[in-house]
Amino acid sequence: MTKLPTWADVGLVPLISLTLAALVSAGVLLAIGQSPMQALTVMVNGALGSSYAWGYTLYYATSFIFTGLAVTVAFHAGLFNIGGEGQAQLGGLGVALVCLALPWPHWSIALVAAMFGAALFGAAWAAIPAYLQAKRGSHIVITTIMFNYIAAALMIYLLVNVLRPDGQMDPASANFPSGAHLPQFQEIPILQGLFQRFGADGQPRLNAEGLPLYQQVPANVTFFIAILACVLVWVMLWHTRLGYAIRAFGKSEKAAVYAGISPLRIIMIAMLISGALAGLMAINNVMGQAERLVQNSASGAGFIGIAVALMGRNHPLGIFLAAVLFGFLFQGGAALGLETDIPIELRTVVQGLVILFTGALDQMVRMLMGMFFAKKGAT
C-alpha cells in the first residue's frame, strides 16, 4: 500500500472519515423524517455558537482528553485499557474522599490534594488487571472490562452504605465543602467577560448588589490541567527513557526483552499512568461540576476515551482535537434533544457513526487515498 503524505495521513483521512459519518448521519435523520440541515444548525449553535455553548463543549472535552490520554499511554505499551470507565469512577471516589476530608481553605490546595487522590485511586484500580496481565497473562481487555463492572457495583455499595449522609434519599455523597469549589470559566477573571449576561435591552444584568451576573458553565480550571497533561504525556512518551521503553515494548515485546526492558515493569508503569490519567478525569466532573460523588459519575467518558484515542492517532495533539470534536457531538446532541423533537439518542447514533468511520473504517479511507496518491505519483 502506498504511504500517504503526512498531511493527508493526519489531516485529510480523518476529515474524509468525518464527512462520511456526517453524510450517513444525515441519511439517518432523513429516514426518521427530520431535516439534516436543521439538526446541523442546532448542533453547531448549541455546541459552538456562543461562549455559553463552548463552556459545555469544553467541559465534556476535558473529560475526554483525560480518558483519551489514558487509553493512549496504555496503547503505546501494546495494552488495550478498556477500563477507563471504572478507573474514572474510582478516581471520583478518591476526589470525594479528599474533598470531604477537610474544610479546604483554598481551592488550589484542595485541587492538588484531589488530583493526588484521583490519580492514586485510578492507578490502583488499573494495577490489579496490570499485575494479572504481567504475571499471569490474563488478558487485559477482559480483566479491565470486568473491573468496570466491579467498579460500578463497588460505587453503588459505597454510595448507598458508606458515603450517603443520613437522611439523604439519593445514592450520592454529601456536597463538597465550598473551599473545594474549582473556579469555573465564568469565575476566572480573564474569561469572565465572555459569560456576562445581558438583558433584552442590551444592558448588563446586575444582581441585588449591583454586580454583573454571569452565565454558569461547567467548564472549569481542569481544562487547563488537561492541556498540561497532553504536553506532559507527549514529553513522557517521546522524550524520556521511560517513554522510549514503553513504545519499544509496545511495538515488540520480544525485541524489548532483547534490549533488557522488563515486561513486568513496563506493563505495571504504563497501566499505572493510564489508570491515573483516567482517574484524573474526576477532577473535572466530580470536583469541578457535580461537587459531590454520584452514581455512574464517569457517564461513559471512559469508553469515549477509546474512540478519542483512536481518532487522535494516539498522539496528544490528535487527542486534544478529537476530544473537542466529541465534546461538540455531546453538547450538540444535547441541544438536539432540548430544541428539536429529534430524540437525544440520536447523538449516540452520530457518535457511533463517527467511531465507525474514523476507527473501524479508517483503513478503507486510507486505502482509497493510497490508490489516489499512487495514481497521482505515477503520472
Binding positions for another protein, rule: CB under 8 A: 2, 235, 238-241, 244-245, 247-248, 251-252, 254-255, 257-262, 374, 377-378
CB of 2 to another protein, least distance (A): 6
- Quick one: 250 or 327, whose CB is closer to another protein? 250
Residue 342 parent element (H or E):
none
Question: CA nearest 219: which of 253, 195, 254, 250?
Answer: 195
Pinpoint the alpha helices (H) of the chain: 6-7, 13-31, 36-48, 51-76, 84-101, 107-131, 140-158, 189-192, 222-239, 241-251, 253-258, 263-282, 301-311, 316-339, 346-355, 362-378
Q: Which three cell numbers stand for residue 365?
A: 479511507
Question: CA nearest 151: which of 129, 176, 181?
Answer: 129
Cross-strand bridge partners of residue 198: 204
- Quick one: 168 or 252, whose CB is closer to another protein? 252
CB of 261 to another protein, least distance (A): 8
CB of 260 to another protein, least distance (A): 3
CB of 217 to another protein, least distance (A): 36
- Quick one: 7 or 189, whose CB is closer to another protein? 7
CB of 254 to another protein, least distance (A): 6
Question: CA nearest 122: which of 93, 97, 143?
Answer: 93
- Quick one: 106 or 254, whose CB is closer to another protein? 254
- Quick one: 52 or 244, whose CB is closer to another protein? 244
- Quick one: 135 or 251, whose CB is closer to another protein? 251
CA distance 313 to 76: 11
CB of 349 to another protein, least distance (A): 35
CA distance 151 to 126: 11
CB of 250 to another protein, least distance (A): 9
- Quick one: 4 or 141, whose CB is closer to another protein? 4
Question: CA nearest 331: which of 229, 217, 222?
Answer: 217
361: phi then psi, degrees, rounded to nearest 5:
-100, 10
